[in-house]
Amino acid sequence: MTSHAIVFHVYGDPDVLQLHTFPVPEPSANQVLVRIRAAGVQPFDVQFRKGLMAERYPASFPQKIGNEFAGTVEKIGDEVTRFKSGDAVLGWVVLAAYAEHVLVSEATLTHKPPQMPWEEAGALTASGQTALTALDALQVGPEDVLLVHAAAGGVGSFAVQLAKARGARVIGTASPGNHAYLQSLGTEPVSHGEGLAERVLELAPQGVTASLVAVGNEEALRVSLKVTKNPERIRTLAFHPLARQLGIAWVGSERSLERLEQLVQFYEKGQLKVHIQEAFPLKDAAKAHRVMEKGHVRGKLVLLP
């Protein structure tokens, strides 16, 4: 029995992403074989494909890609206790989710709520946990005024909602076309571009208490330093050489079953919405990456195997 997955053999533009055929693997004792129904596309995937993350995460060619998914359990190992064949699940995996099948530990899965559409379930896991990790690193709480750059994007849109759930006031940067979307999430929108620092300070004259940079550009990093009261409370999610020069810490994603289940609970309580801008067939992963590279993505892009 065979299955398909997206791989690339060299770093490069979106066209390096190709659909290849692989044997369907058999689960070992504590593993679960999942037939993927939806897989999220992240900005990280684009950076990884280009080779911009090679220092931290070098590729091993031919390299699979993708970190979040939802699907149906097809087979389980002998020691798996939390799942059975036919269960609807969502979870994460390291660089293997752009595929029809994925083999994972049961510790990286949880049950999908019945009311959650497949597209939303497939786009929640990795980006949502990255947002939670960043807010934990910044210690965001009810007394905070948080500035989120690229607030309408995948991680950004999760971060603003989770920060609001913690009681924080949130200011988010986005293009004007996404301002109404941010307002619907309880966020005060500001346009990026020249004069951004001044616009932020108009909303928060004393400055913000924390900043999350979810986009890889110099403007966001420099503005954050200018408007954040304590520069130690700035974190960046996107790799950029300037961040290191400015002393701004990069934060990855500390993934855990506990964090994943927290996200599902927020969703079930109505405190977390997942907006899908566009869905693509798995074979069109390159098209999804081109859309991501153009910027201004609202929420998430997903692949449908």
Question: Token pair 């995996």 is at which residue?
Answer: 93
Confidence of residue 94 (pLDDT cuts 50, 70, 90): very high
Q: What is the model's pTM? A: 0.93
Residue 296: the pLDDT is 83
Cβ atoms 136, 112 nearer than 8 A: no
Residue-level pLDDT at 242: 86
Residue 4 has pLDDT above 90, yes or no: yes
pLDDT classification of 271: cutoffs 50, 70, 90: very high
Lowest mean pLDDT among 146-160, 176-190, 230-244: 230-244
Confidence of residue 273 (pLDDT cuts 50, 70, 90): very high
Q: What is the pLDDT of residue 128?
A: 95
3-state secondary structure of 174: strand
In this predicted structure, the answer to whether residue 216 has a pLDDT above a threshold of 80 is: no
* Domains within the chain, CATH numbers bracketed: 2-124+274-304 (3.90.180.10), 127-250 (3.40.50.720)
Residue 238, pLDDT > 90, answer no
Write out the two tokens for 9: 């053999």
Tell me what percent of the residues of the chain surpass a pLDDT of 70. Answer: 100
Q: Which pLDDT value is given to residue 223?
A: 96
Mean pLDDT over residues 42-52, rounded? 93
Integer Cα distance of 16 and 123 in angstroms:
23
The rounded percent of the chain whose pLDDT value lies above 90 is 90
- Cβ(229)–Cβ(207) under 8 Å? yes
**DSSP notation for 81-104:** -S--TT-EEEEE-SS--SBSEEEE
pLDDT of residue 16: 98
Rounded to the nearest integer, the mean pLDDT of the chain is: 96
C-alpha to C-alpha distance for 266 and 29, rounded to whole angstroms? 32
Own/partner pairs, 116-119, CB within 8 angstroms, 24+ separation: 116/90, 116/267, 118/37, 118/38, 118/70, 118/71, 118/304, 119/38, 119/276, 119/279, 119/302, 119/304
**What tokens were used for 76?**
């389980």
